[in-house]
Amino acid sequence: MTDTQIGDAQRTETRSATTQKPILIVFSSQIDGHSRRVEGYLAQVLQRRRNHETFSVRYVANEERPDLLERFRIEETPTLVVLQDRRVRGRLARPRGCEEIQTFLAPWLR
pLDDT one-digit tens code per residue, 68-108:
999 999 999 999 999 999 999 999 999 999 999 999 999 99
Stronger pLDDT, 6 or 26, i.e. the higher one? 26
pTM of the model: 0.80
Distance CA 5, CA 97 (A): 48
Average confidence score pLDDT of the chain:
86
pLDDT at residue 7, as a whole number: 47
Stretch 42-51: mean pLDDT: 91
Beta bridge partners of 87: 84
Is the alpha carbon torsion for 22, 27, 30, 34 positive or negative? negative
pLDDT at residue 8, as a whole number: 47
Q: What are phi and psi of 18, to 5 degrees?
A: -70, -40
